[in-house]
């Protein structure tokens, strides 16, 4: 009896395995390998021609400025017309105003005289001078109060020489600037400029000033510092 039971048990186990297996699995289909991405070879670098700087054209040499002697005007009683060629105004007091050629863009009427009635600034030394410039063909009363209009040089500096009383060693320059208020009344302010050099001679020493502007007011030497 035991043997028969064992024989019938084996088929049951086999059937159970067949029922649970679910069939024979299909074999995986072979897959073709994906093609590798081909990176294109970089294009050969094209060398650009080196940039060449443009050759600088030869500039024509500047012609030397005409250095003709300046006209000399001595003790003018009033305005004196000075052209673009310039001039030198000399006073019997020993003062001198040099207007170089090319410093004026157009002719100007220049006044350079000793001012016997003017009032100077503190520290005044020696005489007071009126130094003005006007457009030609204009009527001007020197005694009238007017706003200062200093004139910039268009070339070399203006040169002002003033005698130093008592053969002094040095002195600076006080320059007046006049402004008009709403009522037409003038208000003066003074600016001090340093001496450029001192010229010495047997006739007396002179303080020399190289000025980028031609003053349009009163000027005098001063002991004040700039």
- Is 57 part of any domain? no
CATH number at residue 89: 2.60.220
- Is 216 part of any domain? yes
Q: Residue 108 belongs to what domain range?
A: 71-222
- Is 42 part of any domain? no
More confident residue, 145 or 108: 108
C-alpha dist (Å) from residue 173 to 105, 110, 148, 169, 196 = 25, 19, 17, 14, 10
- Is 48 part of any domain? no
- Is 166 part of any domain? yes
CA-wise closest residue to 208 among 221, 218, 217: 221
Q: What is the largest CA-CA distance in the chain?
A: 169
More confident residue, 109 or 35: 109
- d(Cα 197, Cα 213) in Å, to the nearest integer? 18
CA-wise closest residue to 158 among 146, 140, 177, 173: 173
pLDDT digits (tens, 9 = 90+) for 78-108: 899 999 999 999 999 999 999 999 999 999 9
- Is 97 part of any domain? yes
- Is 165 part of any domain? yes
Say how many domains are in the chain: 1
Question: Roughly how many angstroms between the first and final C-alpha of the chain, as a whole number?
Answer: 145
C-alpha dist (Å) from residue 166 to 114, 175, 205, 208 = 18, 22, 8, 16
Tokens, residue 7:
């024989």
User: pTM for this structure?
Assistant: 0.68
pLDDT digits (tens, 9 = 90+) for 57-68: 554 444 445 567
- d(Cα 45, Cα 68) in Å, to the nearest integer? 66
């Amino acid at each position: 009896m035991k043997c028969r039971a064992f024989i019938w048990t084996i088929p049951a186990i086999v059937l159970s395995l067949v029922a649970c297996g679910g069939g024979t699995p299909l074999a995986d289909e072979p897959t073709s390998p994906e093609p590798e991405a081909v990176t294109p070879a970089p294009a050969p670098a094209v060398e650009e021609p080196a940039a060449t700087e443009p050759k600088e054209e030869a500039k024509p040499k500047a012609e030397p400025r005409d250095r003709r002697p300046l006209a000399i005007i001595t003790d003018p009683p009033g305005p004196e017309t000075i052209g673009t060629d310039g001039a030198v105004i000399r006073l019997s007091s020993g003062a001198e105003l040099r207007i170089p050629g090319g410093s004026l863009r157009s002719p100007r009427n220049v006044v350079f005289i000793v001012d016997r009635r003017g009032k100077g600034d503190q520290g005044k030394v020696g005489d007071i001078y009126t130094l003005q410039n006007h457009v030609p063909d204009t009527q001007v009363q020197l005694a009238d109060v007017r706003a200062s209009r200093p004139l910039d040089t268009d070339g070399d500096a203006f040169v002002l020489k003033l005698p130093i009383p008592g053969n002094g060693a040095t002195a600076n320059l006080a320059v007046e600037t006049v402004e008009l208020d709403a009522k037409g009344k003038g208000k003066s302010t003074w600016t001090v400029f340093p001496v450029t050099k001192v010229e010495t001679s047997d006739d007396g020493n002179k303080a020399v000033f190289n000025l980028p502007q031609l003053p349009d007011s009163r000027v005098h030497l001063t002991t004040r510092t700039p």
